[in-house]
Amino acid sequence: MNPEPLLTVRDLKTWYPIRRGVLNRAMGFVRAVDGVSFSLEKGRTLGLVGESGCGKTSLGRSLAGLEVPRSGEVLFRGEPVPPGNRRGKIWHKRIQMIFQDPFSSLNPRMTVMDIVTEGMAEHGMLKGSREQAAREVVSRVGLDPDAVFRYPHEFSGGQRQRISVARAVSLNPELVVCDEAVSALDVSVQAQVIRLLKRLQEELALSYLFISHDLAVVSTLSHEVAVMYLGKIVEYGPTAEVLHKPQHPYTQALLSAVPRPGKEKTHRIVLPGEPPSPARPPSGCRFHPRCPQAMEVCRSVDPDARTRGPVQVWCHLY
């Protein structure tokens, strides 16, 4: 057995240039992902949560090779994964991504058969006929094999998302980045797609980076959770620990905003102001201008990770 985790991310930064003027020069950068480190084991799910704009999609896209990071390392069992612009076929196959919008992520002019076997053909993975391969893949995600002759518009949102899942798993990937993959679906359909993702994880030993703004959804399938704020992870640990005993004031605020069934109404912590712009992150701890517990040190010193039992928290309180 290889002792290295499936995925190791070290100090990853993905910045977008802000271009202005006739010369189109970079006047600054949006620091969407600004020094993120974590690891993910085979067959496990890391939930990634945080407010809109904190960099979740940018992180997912950087892992999937769709954005080119500015610096940092991504390793697969210790082996460096080249950035998107230098990534060969093999890496595109090993890391797949599923997007939120099943209505725009599938080509309306392609049949389901072509959608789910396009990648397999490209990677020389088709052994028998295309139709046979497509039938196997769609039945694996719980669709009728005859669906292969139909077009995306003939399916419901949940069925289309199953087609996206089929396309991703057809390449036998090791890591699937799910970016708000169930967010556009009704609650009951959401539950079905989540069950499907869990079943496929067991059958194929898949690892997921599961991005969602919905903490309830994240809690149903993540083994670990990472909470992101303005381009950085502020708290990371086992799902139950992070969601039931949040330690970072930001995680506490995020959770207090969610009504939880069967729980006493928690006191809702209202954070002052909007999140600051990732183009000009605050000094010190970037959460300090909104933090109800900010201290003097928080203004100037960016906190390192503190280990609190199984949880890591980037906060001067500990």
Q: Which residues bind ligand ATP (CB under 6 A)?
A: 16, 30, 32, 50, 52-58, 213, 278
Three-class secondary structure of residue 190 per DSSP: helix
Contacted by 254, from Mg ion, ligand ATP, none: CB < 5 to 8 Å by type: none
CB-nearer residue toward Mg ion: 48 or 298: 48
Instruction: Calculate the alpha carbon distances from 113 to 101, 119, 134, 160 in Å.
Output: 20, 11, 5, 13
Q: Is 57 in the site for Mg ion (CB under 5 A)?
A: yes
Q: Is 312 in the site for Mg ion (CB under 5 A)?
A: no
Contacted by 312, from ligand ATP, Mg ion, none: CB < 5 to 8 Å by type: none
CB-nearer residue toward Mg ion: 57 or 161: 57
Instruction: Calculate the alpha carbon distances from 272 to 201, 263, 289 in Å.
Output: 40, 25, 8
AA letter at 109: R
Neighbour tally for 128: CB within 10 Å: 8
Instruction: Calculate the alpha carbon distances from 60 to 195, 214, 227, 283 in Å.
Output: 22, 16, 14, 26
Least separation, in Å, of the C-beta of 288 and ligand ATP? 19
Least separation, in Å, of the C-beta of 228 and ligand ATP? 7
What 8-state DSSP symbol labels residue 261? T
CB-nearer residue toward ligand ATP: 200 or 242: 242
AA letter at 62: S
Contacted by 32, from ligand ATP, Mg ion, none: CB < 5 to 8 Å by type: ligand ATP
CB-nearer residue toward ligand ATP: 56 or 135: 56
Contacted by 176, from Mg ion, ligand ATP, none: CB < 5 to 8 Å by type: none
Segment 136 to 195, residues that bind Mg ion, using CB under 5 A: none
CB-nearer residue toward Mg ion: 32 or 40: 32
Q: How far is residue 71's CA from residue 73's CA, in Å, rounded to a whole number?
A: 7
- What is the DSSP annotation of 12-56? EEEEEEEEETTTTEEEEEEEEEEEEEEEE-TT-EEEEE-STTSSH
Using N-to-C axis directions, what is the helix angle for 157-169 and 130-140, rounded to 10°?
Answer: 120
Burial annotation 59-98 (CB, 10 A radius, 16+ → b, else e): bbbbbbbebebbebebbbeeeebebbeebeeebbbbbbbb
Q: Whose CB is nearest to Mg ion? A: 57
Least separation, in Å, of the C-beta of 234 and Mg ion? 17
Least separation, in Å, of the C-beta of 255 and ligand ATP? 17
CB-nearer residue toward Mg ion: 31 or 140: 31
CB-nearer residue toward ligand ATP: 277 or 307: 277
Among the candidate windows 56-64, 101-109, 134-142, 301-309, which touches Mg ion by CB under 5 A?
Answer: 56-64
Chain residues that interact with Mg ion, rule: CB under 5 A: 57
